[in-house]
Structure 1
């Protein structure tokens, strides 16, 4: 299998390369910009599979497909779940949310390999997906959550939630009043339910509300530590792979 990685953050690209190697998938070519990718595709045979980051240092990676007719299969590595997950699914495109989880990566690779004998080429409508990134679908996000308190159901408005987090295989919300409530859901399901300008997934365990951030502090290994208004039960750390997207989200 001929695989390449297109990712502007070199540490993230190397991490993905190592993760793929554990799955016996070699990705010997790593590209880091739109311009570099276009030049490479013009002078090399196209790969079987591309791991593609959406936002590169010099523009959206879809600009590559505006110039080059690429038939390779694509697995997106993206932080833009709030805009395009529905499009990826409709177009049968695999995607991995950063920071990439090893189990999810293995599932995506297996999914590609299972489909391989059935397909001669992959035709994707990148223009439709690009338009969704620039002009996201208007949709309704959750305004409240219901939680069980004893024999009762309690409604909690979204504005009263500081963060969502996972712990001991459970998913919890933490309110501005300092209370924690167990949810009958998972962080993955919350991806499509939370308004993306308000909530951001800083790592595999946490979504934070931008309005609940009290302080942001530099942390080890190029990470960031977040102080929330009332939540202080454990450290809230922005994963290194998410720092760039987190800073963009703040603005």
Structure 2
């Protein structure tokens, strides 16, 4: 098995080669490229009939001069690729959704063995075309960009208070609640005003680090939680500031994420 390693960290490349040698002694590392530019040049030189080509590419995502996805824009790759990545578990979902093989750094021997076994099993069944590879990587890139791009959260709301329109910053809002089928804002200084969004819509708009949906009727700011008490049925009751004239109980399905949110 001939392998091309795309990795810009010398220590990581050497460790990968050592691990590879221990799990697949017959594997030959044809080259280690360290950048988008170098990899594109190497792949252009190593075409079928012209030079020895790899059976598999182990490719780091973050390279010295950009992301390895840029390689696919400049040269056709009709070879299986296993990405190596330091991305967190949230971003890893993108790989799973798009059926792209990946290894999470630091690369473990058993995980590399499993990935190679999976590769060899697949190659017995079919050969992936360059268009299929490009399409899969394109889908992966879109998903990663969507997940890794910081989301813009709502910073203020335009609401009517008495006979005036007011712009309310989110840090001035203690909580949102539903009462008599009306969705309302309660500000930190005690004002109440109607908001033209459902709590479902508001939950999507607001920074989840600041606001949490404790129940169907309440979406609260972390700064408004004055006290948390045990409640029957293994639930929690919270006292809000400004105080609410009804009990606010954290629903059972929200209990664990609420505790995690409060502890962040």
Question: When the two structures are superposed, what TM-score results if normalisation uses the length of structure 2?
Answer: 0.52
Aligned to 1:222: none
Instruction: Report if aligned partners of 2:9, 2:34 keep a CA contact under 8 Å in 1.
Output: yes
Instruction: Report if aligned partners of 2:98, 2:139 keep a CA contact under 8 Å in 1.
Output: no
Identify which of 129, 133, 146 aligns with 1:135: 146
Alignment of 1:120-159 (within 5 A): 120-122=127-129, 123-124=132-133, 125=135, 126-136=137-147, 155=256, 157-159=259-261
Residue ranges of structure 2 left out of the alignment (5+ in a row): 48-52, 152-203, 213-233, 236-254
Instruction: Report if aligned partners of 1:94, 1:108 keep a CA contact under 8 Å in 2.
Output: yes
Instruction: Report if aligned partners of 1:83, 1:133 keep a CA contact under 8 Å in 2.
Output: no
Q: Does 1:62 align with 2:69?
A: yes
3-state SS, counterpart of residue 54 of structure 2: coil
Aligned to 1:8: 8
Within 1, Cα distance between the matches of 2:76 and 2:88? 25
> C-alpha displacement at 1:42, in angstroms?
0.9
Number of aligned residue pairs: give it.
155
Question: Looking at CA atoms only, which structure, 1 or 2, has the larger radius of gyration?
Answer: 2
Q: Which has the higher contact order (CA 8 A, sep 6+)?
A: 1
Within 2, Cα distance between the matches of 1:53 and 1:69? 18
Deviations 1:35-86, CA, capped at 9 Å, x for gaps: 1001101111342111111110100101000000101101111012445423
Alignment of 1:1-251 (within 5 A): 1-23=1-23, 24=25, 25-45=27-47, 46-82=53-89, 84-122=91-129, 123-124=132-133, 125=135, 126-136=137-147, 155=256, 157-159=259-261
Deviations 1:186-220, CA, capped at 9 Å, x for gaps: xxxxxxxxxxxxxxxxxxxxxxxxx7xxxxxxxxx
Instruction: Report if aligned partners of 2:7, 2:13 keep a CA contact under 8 Å in 1.
Output: yes
Question: When the two structures are superposed, what TM-score results if normalisation uses the length of structure 1?
Answer: 0.54
> C-alpha displacement at 1:14, in angstroms?
0.9
Within 1, Cα distance between the matches of 2:77 and 2:65? 20
> C-alpha displacement at 1:114, in angstroms?
1.2
Superposition RMSD on alpha carbons, in Å?
A: 3.0
Deviations 1:112-163, CA, capped at 9 Å, x for gaps: 1111111122523222222222221889x9x8xxxxxxxx8994722465xx
Residue 17 to residue 87, structure 1, CA distance change in 2 (3 Å): same
